[in-house]
Structure 1
């Protein structure tokens, strides 16, 4: 009878031990899955933000591409080429005269002689 009671107790302890072990393992697996899911959601948010930034950059680049295409079509125009040759390389057609407009000369104001104290002040400012 005593041996039977010890077997029952031993069996209950084993059942309790395995139940606790399975509970801990189950909790560990669930915790790992929750953490994994949380990390995946963070990455998804990062990638979504990055996609928005890249889409904005793509739109800007497409707009710039359209502008460059318009400039390319404009460069084949003869009037544009003539204008660029005149402005960039200072070229002229045969029989034309080139006139250069110079900026107005500025008056040079002579520096007044400084007195004794002015010279001392300049030396002090130098230090």
Structure 2
């Protein structure tokens, strides 16, 4: 099971890193999943992730405060709406797909904004 947890943690880490650049992929949940999987399978990888210069603060900040910084909330919600509104207006060829993009933007915004704000 340890090998499976390590591999799933690596996959989750990859998705988390991709989420930094892709607005539809969340970063923190995937990094938290990686940390949880590696905590159970590889203390060395877990400590590496928590002490990583760029990725560690995402995890430590969320674990300590259960909150998202205001700047991150603003950027995340803005990118979600810019991306999905563009898709709804210029990519979707049928009305129901455009509506799906808008509903997805609303759901993602609600999810992001549902966390406490850390200033």
Please give the TM-score of this superposition, normalised by the length of structure 1.
0.24
> Which structure shows the bigger proportion of residues in strand conformation?
2
The structure whose Rg is larger is 1
Please give the TM-score of this superposition, normalised by the length of structure 2.
0.25
Q: Greater relative contact order: 1 or 2 (C-alpha under 8 angstroms, separation 6 or more)?
A: 2
